[in-house]
Structures are given as C-alpha cells and as structure tokens.
Amino acid sequence: METEQTKKNEMAINSNPANAAANSITTVFFSMGLASLAASLSRVPRITWPHFAFVGFFVAFRLKMYLDDLKFLAGSTQRDGWFKTGFVVGVVSWFFWIVAAMNLTELRDTLLPMLIAVSLDTLWVAIEGFKSHWRESHLHWLIINLIYVGSLGISRFVWRPTPGTMGIIFILFVVIQIFDFAASKSLSALD
C-alpha cells in the first residue's frame, strides 16, 4: 500500500529526469560498493571477527547513506551550483568507499580511503548545511561524521591500532550507525 509521501517521491523522481539520473548513479555506486566488499572478502585468506565488524560498519553506513541520498534526491527540487557541487563531492566519496571495500585483505588499508570518503561526506553535509541554513539534521550528521573523521584519522596517522582494536572501533561505529538510523529516520526513504 503506497503512502502519500511515496507517491510524492515517485512523482518527483519520474517528473524530473535529473532526479532519476541522480538516483540511478546513487544506486550504481551503492551496488558497486557491496560488490567490491564481497569480492574483497573472497580474497581474505583468513576472515576474522574484525573483518566482520568492518563489514557490519560498511554495510550499515553505506545503507544509511544510500537511503538518506534517495530521500534527499527525491525531495530536492533545485539543481543550483550548491546541489551540483555537493553531488559531485558525494560521487567522489562513494568512489572512496569502494576503494576501502577493495582493501579488506589488510584492515589498516581500509582506514585512509574511509577517512577520505567520510571527510568528503562531511563536506557534502557542510555544503547542504550552508545552502539550507543548518537544519537540525545537518548538525546531527556533521557531529557524527566528525566523530568518524577524528577516529579514522587518529587510527590511521597516530595510534596505528591492532586488527583486534580496529574490530572494536568498527563495532563502536556500528553502534553509532544504529543510533544514527533511529535519530535520522533514514528508513522513511522506503515509505
């Protein structure tokens, strides 16, 4: 049974070819990220619990991001310079998520592409925040992304954690994602 919001979202997507194209690009990059993750897992000689923790975080983060992107794109009617800049930044970020997934054989090698990806995601949030006069959702995403950026940056350049410690970090990231899913109502994109 379709809700009124679902009908509005479908009308926005179907009535605007730019929305349909943006949604298609979003879906392709999301799918490529999951495929890269599966391919990378198949190359890991010995899969350990920290690998599963990474997979849990990767899937949770990218799924939430995918749903948020679909919701954002369906509700976006302006295609101004801010939107285009943010979208390009987002696409580059999605590329780095794929690179992170492809480096799963050595968990430390996932940190730099994830740091770049989340930093770009944070830039996209900031662009949208400036454009939209910093709604509460932008501040929420900005704070969470800054936690990820700080943790990934420290782990990559300062601390150099063991695989077990990285597993704990990824589990904490999954907990943050669960909170983020609930707080930002990402699943409403499926309505």
Intervals of the chain under pLDDT 50:
1, 13
- pLDDT, residue 153, reads 93
d(CA 108, CA 25): 29
- pLDDT, residue 1, reads 47
Nearest one of 119, 116, 69 to 96, comparing CA atoms? 116
DSSP 107: T
Helix or strand (DSSP H, E) at 134 = none
Neighbouring C-beta atoms of residue 26, cutoff 10 Å: 22
- Taking only the tens place, the pLDDT of each residue in 45-94 is 999 999 999 999 999 999 988 988 888 777 766 677 777 888 888 899 99
Q: Is 3 left (phi over 0), alpha (psi -120 to 50) or beta?
A: beta
Domain ranges of the chain: 4-190
- pLDDT, residue 57, reads 94
